[in-house]
Structure 1
Amino acid sequence: MIKPWTKIGSEYLGDFRIFRIRADHSRSPRTGDEHRFFVLESPDWVNVIPLTPAGNVVMIRQFRHGVEAVTLEIPGGMVDEADGDPAVSAARELREETGYEAAEIIHLGSVEPNPAFLNNRCHSYLARDARWVAAPQLDGAEDIAFEEVPLGDITALIQSGAITHSLTIAAFYYLELSGLKKPT
């Protein structure tokens, strides 16, 4: 049976805008040996599938520095402490990145993006009856374009490799499981 490791100590190695790096010193319950592990502490994230009354998904394209490419994904971002609730963050990110607002925000599910070294969760939401209401309000580090994609095209876009963002794919899987795919 796998047992939890005993944390002996921690030290912070860096504090950046979107995460902190922590080194943990822990003892193996199996061998008793001590090892060092690195953890990225980050606020929880949200992503949101904005579904329009016409059955389209509002998708975004943006340059991602990790893969040095423009990706096709759904709106999302960090849960701000001031929001108090990830659903509030989901609605805020949708509005900021696309200018759309939704009649209803529904929680679909949550995942741990990479529990090997991240300590956060990503919460996926469906934004029903999403409608464009204003221009996006991008921050200085964002360069985003949005477009509407028919919901029926999403599976083919994932299969073809046009959508590669794992958290976007997880959100669409949760949507499939929910049975909520039809617009209101």
Structure 2
Amino acid sequence: MASDKDPLAWETVDSDVAYHCPGFDVRNENVRLPDGTETDFDYITEPESVVVLPFTEDGDVVIIEEWRQAVSRVSRGLPVGGVEPDDGDLAAAARRELIEETGYETDRVSHLTTVEPANGYADSVHHYFVAYDCTPTGEQDLDHNESIRSATTTMDELREEIAEDGVYDGRTVLGVLYYDSFSE
């Protein structure tokens, strides 16, 4: 982690929100580069998120199918959602998002990894969790702008779908690959 004293560090001279919308802001900053040059830099800023890889008691994976307007199609993937101030901790946020998006719940989650998926143009931070012994509650609690259905699949089927370029959601691909590579 670089500090402000790092010779590569940029100095922020001024910073304002250039555009605000639900879910994220676009921030415009006037910065001074290490060589003294001043320039503008724009980036997306958003709350931290949790990504959940949920397993049922039978070992199936709970996935969501969600309309994604930016790509004009239904995207298959893992439940993902923003961390809210009243969550208490990241594990609570993971359990809450799991229930809201899938209608499944669990008492057992474990942290898998944390990544900055697009730190060249966004301050996004994704905290990955594995949820175990998930059981259906039957009730989703979707946000006003979410169109989501939940489903289950086997881990092998999900891996095969990823390998055959059938899952485009980068958060899902990373979560499954990280789980396969580094979990016990």
Alpha-carbon separation, structure 2, partners of 1:179 and 1:126? 10
Is 1:21 matched up with 2:26? yes
Alpha-carbon separation, structure 2, partners of 1:39 and 1:9? 14
**Could you tell me whether the CA contact under 8 Å between 2:95 and 2:107 is conserved in 1?**
no
Of residues 68, 71, 74 in structure 2, which corresponds to 1:67? 71
Alpha-carbon separation, structure 1, partners of 2:130 and 2:182? 10
Give the match for residue 141 of structure 1: 145
TM score, norm. by length of structure 1: 0.91
Q: How many equivalent pairs are there? A: 179
Alpha-carbon separation, structure 2, partners of 1:24 and 1:141? 30
Is 1:58 matched up with 2:81? no
Of residues 9, 13, 16 in structure 1, which corresponds to 2:14? 9
**RMSD in angstroms over aligned alpha carbons?**
1.5
How far 1:72 sits from its partner (Å)? 0.4
Listed as ranges, the gaps of 5+ residues in structure 2 are 1-5
For 1:152, the aligned partner's letter is D
Listed as ranges, the gaps of 5+ residues in structure 1 are none
Poorly superposed stretches of 4+, deviation over 3 Å: none
How far 1:2 sits from its partner (Å)? 6.0
Q: 1:129 aligns to what SS in structure 2? A: strand
Alpha-carbon separation, structure 1, partners of 2:44 and 2:155? 34
Q: 1:175 aligns to what SS in structure 2? A: helix
